Structure 1
Amino acid sequence: MHINSIGQGPDLVLVHGWSMHSGVWQPLVDLLAEHFRCHLVDLPGHGQSDWQPGDFELPTLLASLAKALSQKAIWLGWSLGGMVALAMTQRYPDKVKKLILLASNPRFVQTDDWPCAMAAEVFDTFSASLAVDQQQTLQRFIMLQAKGANQPRQVIKQLSEQLAQQHEPEPEALQAGLKCLAEWDLRDALTTVNCPTQMILAENDHLVPASLANYAVELQPKLRIDVMPGLGHAPFISQPQQCQLVIEQFLHE
């Protein structure tokens, strides 16, 4: 697993979302690296990380991360990366000092008892399109992430540029990642988390609705929730300085 480390200070692990790679954190990481030692993870089959079938099986993935990142650290995960970080907190609590869930849902797809998520029919249609045309599906996903942002063109431009800077993710890795989004249910992990935890949501997010806040705090009353106004699924791209401020306020508590 490829991990790039930059900056000085307390250890901060950053885990990207579905279909992207660690480069997506620019320029937020430039700001954070002034005060933290940032460890930028490329998930299996993404960025510069190799892919082997089974790499996204949760016990395998968590064990790989635990081996590669031996130090206790703050964990910051975006979207799918937030689910990985939450699962890491449950499986290896000694590895996680504080947890930040950025535009991330412990249950990504709606169920009867979890309406604050993506509609199952929308997710299924999206998944089916990946098998037909991967490139077009990735572009559609970029558009979904930009939707609702106050500067959608900036988000589309930056996400597209980051995707183009690396080889496209392995098709099997993309399918495995979608399977994780469809099947993982980490609500129990959120309920039992025992380290300081922040959930950052975006007001206009079309993938992880801001209404999640009402449901998440019922699972974890100690959760700190920050909702960023006027932004979509990638608030750290639209407003990196504002996002840095929200993150560091929590970390310095």
Structure 2
Amino acid sequence: MGELYTLLPVEIQQRIRCLDLPGYGDNRVELAEYDLCSLTDWLAAQINEPSVVIGWSLGGLIAQNLAFHYPDKVSKIGLVSTSPRFMQDETWPGIKPDVLTLFLSQLSQDHVKTVERFLAIQAMGSDSARQDITALKNVVLSVLPPEQTALKKGLNILQKVDLREQLKQLACPVFALFGKLDSLVPISVEQEVLMLNPNIQTTRFEKCSHAPFISDKIKFKTWLLDVIAA
């Protein structure tokens, strides 16, 4: 979380744990199967008491799946720039299938450059896109490069997972944050999510893309504190 972390009150900083998914950052845990189920089980093992779980993008799928299968571990979830289904189809807005297929193909050729391209897409549309891309690269590439298996399997999860029916049944409070300029999770997903579960509390950042915690740290800090306090 870097700079954002320092903006939070000290008492909140002391309660936060920022977890890298297996294969990212310093987390080199090897899973027998790198899929949504295994990632959810891994996350559940890190939590000892009912907690507020915040998940960004792919992490939002894991947070939602955790709340569904391990309700005793979760007091509420915050879903940041995420969707119960990332792929576009005839009934759902999302990423065009050929976009993720292209990234999967490119990963085999040069996964570092492919990561950089994917980061650029995450900032696309933001008023501060150039600065946001630089900030994302600095965060991701300042540690060990993501493992290729984690990248490929993560994209597979985005391609295949559909948690829409599950989202209807979640019992815990759900807070969802969307960026109006997000090119990976279209803003129209906000209304689709509310149709699935009217109890979800949604927030829209008008000038943000896929990484609101970078492009608008102050507003994101306020949203995060509101979720924790709710």
What range is the shorter-chain TM-score in?
Answer: over 0.9
Q: Classify 1:173/1:60 alpha carbon distance in 2 versus 1 (closer, same or farther; 3 Å).
A: same
Secondary structure at the counterpart of residue 38 of structure 1: coil
Q: Classify 1:54/1:117 alpha carbon distance in 2 versus 1 (closer, same or farther; 3 Å).
A: farther
Secondary structure at the counterpart of residue 177 of structure 1: helix
Asked if structure 1 preserves the Cα contact closer than 8 Å seen for 2:35 and 2:154, the reply is no
Alignment correspondent of 1:164 = 141
Q: Post-superposition shift, 1:122?
A: 1.7
Structure 1 segment 1-253 matched on structure 2, within 5 A: 25-32=1-8, 34-36=10-12, 37-52=15-30, 54-114=32-92, 116-253=93-230
Unaligned 5+ runs, structure 2:
none
Residues in 1 aligned to 2:66 and 2:197: alpha-carbon distance in whole angstroms = 17
TM-score normalized by structure 1? 0.85
Q: Post-superposition shift, 1:30?
A: 2.5
Asked if structure 2 preserves the Cα contact closer than 8 Å seen for 1:80 and 1:181, the reply is yes
Matched positions, count: 228
- Listed one character per residue, the Cα deviations across residues 201-249 of structure 1 (whole Å, up to 9, x for unaligned) are 0010011111101100011110111010111110110111111112222
TM-score normalized by structure 2? 0.94
Q: Which amino acid aligns with 2:35?
A: E
Q: Which amino acid aligns with 1:70?
A: N
- Listed one character per residue, the Cα deviations across residues 76-133 of structure 1 (whole Å, up to 9, x for unaligned) are 000001111001000101111111000001101112222x111112221222111121
Q: Which amino acid aligns with 1:242?
A: K
- Listed one character per residue, the Cα deviations across residues 20-57 of structure 1 (whole Å, up to 9, x for unaligned) are xxxxx222222345342111111111111124253422
RMSD over equivalenced CA pairs, Å: 1.5
Residues in 1 aligned to 2:9 and 2:100: alpha-carbon distance in whole angstroms = 35
Q: Post-superposition shift, 1:72?
A: 1.0
Asked if structure 2 preserves the Cα contact closer than 8 Å seen for 1:29 and 1:38, the reply is no
Residues in 2 aligned to 1:249 and 1:31: alpha-carbon distance in whole angstroms = 14
